[in-house]
Amino acid sequence: MRFRKGYLLILMLFWGLSAVATHQRAAEITYRWVQGLTYEVTITMYTYTPSPADDVRTSLPIIWGDNSQSEIPRIQFQALADNYTLNIYQMNHTFPGSGNYIISVEDPNRNFGVVNIPNSVNVPIYVESLLVINPFLEENNSVQLLNPPIDQGCVGKIYIHNPSAFDPDEDSLSYKLVNCRGMQGLEIPGYTLPLASTSFEIDPVTGDLTWDAPVLQGEYNVAFEIEEWRSGTKIGSVVRDMQILIGACDNNPPVITMASNHCVVAGNQLTFDVSATDPDNNGVTLTATGAPFEDNNPATLIPDPATGTPTASTTFFWNTTCEQVRKISYNALFKAKDNHPEVSLTAFQSTVISVVAPAVDVFAGEALGNGVNLSWNYSKCENSKGFYLYRRNGISDFVPGECQSGVPVSAGFSRIAIITDRNITSYRDDDQGQGLVPGVDYCYLITAYFEDGAESIASFQVCASLKRDLPVITNVSNDSLNLSQGKVLLAWAQPTELDTIQYPGPFTYQVYRLNGADTQLVYTGIGLNDTICSDATINLNNLGSEAVYEVLLKSETVGEIGSSKQAASVFLQAGPTDKALLLSWTANVPWSNDSTEIFKQNGGVFMKIGSSTTDSFLDEGLENGQEYTYYVRTTGGFSTSGFVDPIINYSQIVTGIPKDIVAPCPPDITVETNCKDISNLIKINLLYDSCYVDTKEYQIFYSISSGTDLSLLAAIPANQTEFLHQGIDFVTACYYVKAVDSTGNISEASNTVCIDWDTCPLYELPNVFTPNGDNFNDLFIPLNYPSTNPKANVERVEMTVFNRWGNVVFQTSEPALNWDGKDMKTGKDCSAGTYFYTCKVFFQTLEGLIEQQLQGSLTIVK
């Protein structure tokens, strides 16, 4: 008798707690780094004001994710409008070391009558946040959600919510919808997204949660996750579970009017006007949140808040400094709320604000010797880290826009140096000791860069040209008169600005071929006009590499004057691929090549087959195993006048043989799950027909877990595009497929498809059965069985049925249950009436076993 009384007392206490704690409306967990491994963690909850549970919940149990938990005290308790109460819980916690920690809180229970959560009064609210402690990524603070989740909506009207997420560390943010979760963090059985006439979605970039549009009035709960990214690595996340109240009302939200983008140069004041007008002539309150208002030098609104009927207007002011310069733009979120007497509606609109650093405005360059000396002064932004230096050949017409930071690729400049100390204000450009080319206009831009990679506006352009007092090579070419001999034809431009007083004649040229540290004199020319020669000591067609040359100018009176910049022959290669050859070439020369023509031998004669403005060309439609012969001809020139134009050079002759080394394209797969037969049907979809002409077979890979490598399950011939995986314990599995061609080339893996436990119907139990021998509903079995087999995703259950006195009448671990209504001890039929059950369900998931707890009542009818 003691056992029965105790059991009934436990049931009464549980039901009593459920009746009291029907109050949770919204929640989230945020954190702030304090020092070392210590973080301040804050739980923000919104509860239903009339609930008596609000008054007594002065602390909450929190799980830290490090195998410890605590009671976190409430530090704020504030009643808000529309029966919302704000509850803030906060405490510090020191974590044991580096790692990923899921901080979570679970609290019973939600509001009664949440439309999209079955039996919501008995479903806990569960939220979690991810904290990543990584010494290589520095400390991290979670996002702060500046906009509370207390907005309302109307049936048939678009509803928008934005959390106004602010990241103190300026990390990148992304947003995604997630399912609301309940007991032990499990997804809630039967949970669905709210019904929408068009769509319910969240913008992954802006965080706008848009419901277009509610169909039925009522209370709904939804959840979304905000992820933080730093250097491409996820370093944290926060989940907000929030309630949306939808009424049957004839009201329209206000309309906000302002520009969507703004830009300001640091040091200037940004000012713009914002207004909000209510189409129904209601009064409007206009406010704003976001990073500009959280800055150490915050922006302001005047007035704040702004009110008016039907229009509220305000002006945004921000006196920016260099401290606000950053690569990621700021977001300011404006919120307009009307004061409709029944349901107040809210409108949101974001504006993007870019704060860019001013340009380096003192920049100069002077040609000296074989380089250009550059100098500058930049005192405007003392928080800059250093400078980026850009160069191009020839004068550019690029002028940065008013707020355009950095140097676009289209301007034709290349970054040649990074000065990592902002106190260094000079640089010598001599092409890293190789020397610049005399007579070429070299033009430069400079930007300041900052800790996060932000760049200032580019400086004005500075150009300089070296005196043409040295020879300039213009040709290093396979002699076009007889390409098969591979003789090198060399030509250079003579110096036109040589100081003959300092360097009196007579003059000679010495042409050297360079091979690493080894040099070979191949020609000596007499006089400044002797600017052409050939090198027959090598055969370019057999060399296997480029041939590199330089020309030394000497005065017979004073000795060496200096050398030209090195130049190399065009080096062509033919890479084999399936029924094609990939031709690629290099041309390390001091001028710019604009285009290349490709020639292929056909019947002993070379014919042009194409041209390219890059350094490669694919010759297709060839026969594997057959030899093909090519050369290329480059055309280019210098950016300044006074040189031969155009400059034409020929490569060596090369041969290539196509070979099938190309793997088939990876297929695309889908998987159809049969929860009754416990099987998965893998279907292989061919996306690109031309990739599968010689496919021999498909290899199917499989794993029962998403955390382990997939292993080979089976290989099927290419004419078979389906594979039935049966005879398995559970449908839970991951699959991908690779294609193999006739020569053994294996494709990349297809998309990976994972079948998790929730692919099959949820494990639900009926509340009545009729074991009267009429062969209809005679067994107590899960819903949807036998049309689906619970063993497809359930490893076992722990099912216990009690009568009203607390006596156990049935127990089983069999997922199908199959209770015939008999008392397990006596074998006699249980009498008609109400019974109670508890059931632990162990699902086989991709991450291992998870447990779901069910409890309720069932009625035997006879």
Residue 688's pLDDT band, with cuts at 50, 70 and 90, is: low
Q: What is the CA radius of gyration of the chain?
A: 38
- Residue 278: pLDDT above 70? yes
Residue-level pLDDT at 53 = 61
Report pLDDT digits (tens) over 125-172: 999 999 999 888 889 999 999 999 988 999 999 999 999 999 999 899
**Tokens in use for 534?**
């050939």
Q: Are strands 152-154 and 233-247 parallel, antiparallel or unpaired?
A: parallel
CB atoms within 10 A of CB 716: 16
Evaluate if residue 116 carries a pLDDT over 80: yes
pLDDT value for 51: 74
Amino acid at the residue 62: I
In the chain, pLDDT over 70 holds for what percent of residues?
96
**pLDDT at position 16, please?**
34
For 389-393, 545-549, 636-640, 789-793, which range has the lowest pLDDT when averaged over its residues?
Answer: 636-640
Non-local (6+) Cβ contacts of 379 within 8 A are none
Distance CA 65, CA 129 (A): 10
Phi, psi of 3 (to 5 degrees): -60, -45
As a whole number, mean pLDDT of residues 627-649 equals: 93
Residue 4's pLDDT band, with cuts at 50, 70 and 90, is: very low
CB 63 within 8 Å of CB 129:
no
Query: Which pLDDT score is estimated for 10?
Result: 29
Q: Give the pLDDT confidence score for residue 55 in this predicted structure.
A: 64
pLDDT band at 5 (very low <50, low <70, confident <90, very high): very low
pLDDT recorded at residue 106: 93
**Statement: residue 669 has pLDDT above 50:** yes
Q: What is the per-residue pLDDT for 21?
A: 41
- For residue 305, cis peptide bond before it (omega within 30 degrees of 0): yes
What confidence category does residue 228 fall into, taking pLDDT thresholds of 50, 70 and 90? very high
Q: Looking at residue 689, what is its pLDDT? A: 64
Q: Which two tokens stand for residue 315?
A: 């002006």
Provide the β-strand partners of residue 683. 670, 722
Question: What tens digit of pLDDT does each residue of 53-76 get?
Answer: 656 778 999 999 999 999 999 999
- 20: pLDDT strictly greater than 50: no
pLDDT digit string (tens) for 286-308?
999 999 999 889 999 999 999 99
Question: Which has the higher per-residue pLDDT, 852 or 243?
Answer: 243
DSSP code at position 187: B
Contacts of 659 (CB under 8 A, 6+ apart): 576, 577, 578, 624, 625
- 3-state DSSP call for residue 8? helix
Contact 316, 295 (CB under 8 A): no
Place 118 in a pLDDT band, splitting at 50, 70 and 90: confident
Per-residue pLDDT tens for 799-841? 999 998 889 999 999 999 999 999 999 999 999 999 999 999 9
- DSSP secondary-structure letter at 727? S
Q: Are 188 and 246 in contact (CB under 8 A)?
A: no
At residue 542, the 3 state secondary structure works out as helix
pLDDT band per the 50, 70, 90 thresholds, residue 41? very high
For residue 408, what are the CA distances in angstroms to 427, 465, 466?
Answer: 22, 24, 26
What's the CA dihedral at 666, 670, 674, 679 to 10 degrees?
10
User: Is a pLDDT exceeding 90 seen at residue 630?
Assistant: yes
pLDDT band at 370 (very low <50, low <70, confident <90, very high): confident
pLDDT above 70 (res 554): yes
**Mind listing the pLDDT tens digit for each residue in 523-541?**
999 999 999 999 999 999 9
Helix (H) or strand (E) holding 416: strand 414-419
Which residue would you say has higher pLDDT here, 9 or 454?
454
Q: How high is the pLDDT of residue 15? A: 33
Lowest model confidence (mean pLDDT) among 8-17, 395-404, 604-613, 625-634: 8-17
Give the model's confidence band at 1: pLDDT under 50 very low, under 70 low, under 90 confident, else very high: very low
Q: Quick one: pLDDT at residue 36?
A: 94
* pTM of this prediction exceeds 0.85: no
Higher pLDDT, 775 or 417: 417
| pLDDT number for residue 515 | 83
Return d(Cα 337, Cα 141) in angstroms, integer: 30
pLDDT of residue 2: 32
Q: How confident is the model at residue 222 (pLDDT cuts 50, 70, 90)?
A: very high
Residue 220: predicted pLDDT: 95
Bigger pLDDT: 379 vs 726: 726
Of residues 278, 280, 298, 279, the one with CA closest to residue 289: 298
Is the pLDDT at 428 greater than 90? The verdict is: yes
What is the pLDDT of the chain when averaged over all its residues? 91
Task: With cut-offs at 50, 70 and 90, classify the pLDDT of residue 361.
Answer: confident
Alpha-helix residue ranges (DSSP H) falling in 215-345: 291-294
User: Exposure of 843 by Cβ count < 10 A (0-12 exposed, 13-18 middle, 19+ buried)?
Assistant: buried
Whole-angstrom distance, CA of residue 766 vs CA of residue 857: 9
